[in-house]
């Protein structure tokens, strides 16, 4: 009996394989996927983009290293990316057909499956902060338009003049899109025009997962078009096993319910994260869409697949390997 | 060899069990789930609700009997339910905090996984028609607010004065909610106030599936709140095996990605529709929410579960059995 007791005690004290991984953290970010080629990106811009991705990784890492939550890590990284002019989110977002920056964002906490989302706001400096406030300080998941900004005011969320979001590069993109439209081109989204959505996924030392996504949507968008970024289950999802942020041709990502489908493949079909990530992007491609995503599981495994020429991305693996990449053939770790 | 060939040929000519079912159609509708009790519903209102559900079943059935599409069947049924004053959709929708009817809807075609959704429109007589126009006549999936109405105008969609949607019963509900709020009650949705969302699912004789949902949302809603009804993957989903329309406390249905999760349980875990329906509602309950849903599979099996006291519902099974029910202990077929 005593021997049995001692054996059982010894077994209880042995580290469980999953538990070792859960004691560490892992983190990934994206800054959009698209038809970017090396000729589109001069050396200065490439250096600036890589620096911004690195700064976002730093922001998330410092939260996670200090035993902070996955939720705080993804929020911190997205604020950096929203404030950077190089991504299609916050400052530097694309313009809609009325020449206005119209912003969408969402966030989800995997441990509690609470979620917050906002769409079509025009004055919120950091849309991800508002999405998080919706999650934490309202009984709702999704608020849109002027109503969402009214809620923001009551929450002390930083509001700015709409001119804050403007960059000359995005204005030129709008002018180019308008010229194409006048020339009779199709109104359908053009590959590349939706490049630049930002997102982050994290697992913290307590094994909690979170995901967040923020975007300006499509250049020259009209009719109050909303893509996948603020849609819980499409652009963003997190549960106790899996967190996902997607980027790409949003209509197809909604139809394939990309973020939730990836987690469902892991949960119900037992697919590893790499396989689930690849297969859900294949499903998007079968519908006719393209893009990419970042996904993380509770053991800290990371997948960063895309079926476009490039995806701005960065990662910190649970063993500490860290990297930033843009093209498909970039250095991976 | 000849015997083998003849045997194989005979096997090929044998009716496959699924194929027989696919030659028939099946159809289900809901008019919302909630904390309805028999004392809330006088005999006149109950008769009117049952008649409206019957009329919606008739509308879908006449499409499906004439070899029409599942998509046309769910559209036809929802137009009837939106036009009826007894449901929280179209005419008879609830009022938001500003005393305005603010409407959401979505539709999905399982065969192509095309989808359309609209949120926060105030002048569209039949929101489901606009959701369908978004799917069929725009490159987008989701349009919201004034932009969605601008698109509607270009599509020849019927626009009405906002007063069209008003019913005295809904106005009294808003006044009651405002009085409770003035008395310091919680702003969180109250069970019953979200009762009345409408939806339909169908499989047609060609085995194509479709789902549609339409709602006025929550009484006294504010800040541009959007629930699960216009969210593809939450309130509505359809693929080649499964179609779902949900109703209930929308925030929880978004967080559980109810409609897509049900289809994912069938696809990846091989769950039959009854089990998948029950387990996804259990997941909603675990998060703290309640409501119901209607689901149909490609063989015409129907599930109509709810974890509230009642759900307005109707069905036509593939063997022709037809029924309408309100309470949990109602006659089932």
Nearest by CB: B223 against A151, A189, A265: A151
Q: How far apart are CA A38 and CA A25, in angstroms?
A: 32
Q: Please report residues of A whose CB lies closer than 8 A to that of B232.
A: 231, 234, 254-255, 257
Q: Touching check for A141 and chain B: CB below 8 Å?
A: yes
Cα atoms in the 13 Å half-sphere on the side-chain side of B303: 27
Whether B269 sits inside 8 A of A269 (CB atoms) is yes
Q: Please report residues of B whose CB lies closer than 8 A to that of A143.
A: 223-226
User: What single DSSP character describes residue A216?
Assistant: -
Whether A143 sits inside 8 A of B226 (CB atoms) is yes
Q: How far apart are CA A296 and CA A202, in angstroms?
A: 7
Determine whether A197 is an active site residue: yes
pTM of the model: 0.92
Would you list the domain boundaries of chain A?
21-327
Cα atoms in the 13 Å half-sphere on the side-chain side of B246: 36
Nearest by CB: A232 against B142, B257, B287: B257
The set of residues, in sequence order, having a beta carbon less than 8 Å from that of A156 and lying 6+ positions away, is none
For residues B222 and B248, the answer to whether their CB atoms sit within 8 Å is: no
Q: Touching check for B48 and chain A: CB below 8 Å?
A: no
Q: Which chain B residue's Cα is nearest to A121?
A: B224
Taking only the tens of pLDDT, chain B with its 333 residues reads 455 555 444 444 444 444 444 349 999 999 999 877 677 788 899 999 999 999 999 999 999 999 999 999 999 999 999 999 999 999 999 999 999 999 999 999 999 999 999 999 999 999 999 999 999 999 999 999 999 999 999 999 999 999 999 999 999 999 998 998 888 776 565 555 557 899 999 999 999 999 999 999 999 999 999 999 999 999 999 999 999 999 999 999 999 999 999 999 999 999 999 999 999 999 999 999 999 999 999 999 999 999 998 999 999 999 999 999 998 888 665
Q: How far apart are CA A115 and CA A128, in angstroms?
A: 12
Interface test with A, best of B254, B262, B285 (most A CBs within 10 A): B254
CATH number of B21-327: 3.60.20.30
Q: Touching check for B241 and chain A: CB below 8 Å?
A: no
Q: Which two tokens stand for residue A160?
A: 């700015």
Q: Which 63-122 residues of chain A touch chain B by CB within 8 A?
A: 108, 113-115, 119-120
Q: How far apart are CA A61 and CA B200, in angstroms?
A: 47
Whether A234 sits inside 8 A of B234 (CB atoms) is no
Which value does ipTM take for this structure? 0.92
- Distance from the Cα of B258 to chain A's closest Cα (Å) equals 10
The residues with which A159 forms a beta bridge, in sequence order, are A124
């Amino acid at each position: 009996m005593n021997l049995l007791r001692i054996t059982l005690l010894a077994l209880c004290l042995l580290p469980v394989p999953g538990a070792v991984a859960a004691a560490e953290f892992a983190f990934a970010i994206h800054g959009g996927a698209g038809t970017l080629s090396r000729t589109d990106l001069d050396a200065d811009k490439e250096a600036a983009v890589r620096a911004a991705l690195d700064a976002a990784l730093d922001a998330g890492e410092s939260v996670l290293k200090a035993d902070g939550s996955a939720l705080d890590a993804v929020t911190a990284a997205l604020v950096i990316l929203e404030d950077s002019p190089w991504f299609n989110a916050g400052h530097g977002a694309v313009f809609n057909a009325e020449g206005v920056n119209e912003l969408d964002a969402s966030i989800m906490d995997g441990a509690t499956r609470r979620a917050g989302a906002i769409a079509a706001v025009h004055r919120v400096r950091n849309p991800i902060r508002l999405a998080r406030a919706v999650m934490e300080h309202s009984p709702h998941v999704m608020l849109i338009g002027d109503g969402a900004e009214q809620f923001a005011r009551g929450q002390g969320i930083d509001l700015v003049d709409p001119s804050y979001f403007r960059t000359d590069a995005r204005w030129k993109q709008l002018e180019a899109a308008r010229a194409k439209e006048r020339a009779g081109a199709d109104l359908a989204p053009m590959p590349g025009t939706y490049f630049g959505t930002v997102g982050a996924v994290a697992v913290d030392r307590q094994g909690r997962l979170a995901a967040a996504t923020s975007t300006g949507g499509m250049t020259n968008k009209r009719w109050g078009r909303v893509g996948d970024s603020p849609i819980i289950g499409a652009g963003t999802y997190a549960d106790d096993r899996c967190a996902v942020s997607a980027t790409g041709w949003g209509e197809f990502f909604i139809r394939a319910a990309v973020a939730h489908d990836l987690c469902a493949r892991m949960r119900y079909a037992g697919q590893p994260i790499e396989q689930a990530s690849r297969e859900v992007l294949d499903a998007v491609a079968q519908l006719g869409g393209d893009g990419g995503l970042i996904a993380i599981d509770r053991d800290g495994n990371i997948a960063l697949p895309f079926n476009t020429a490039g995806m701005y991305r960065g990662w910190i693996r649970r063993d500490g390997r860290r990297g930033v990449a843009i093209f498909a053939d970039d250095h991976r770790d």
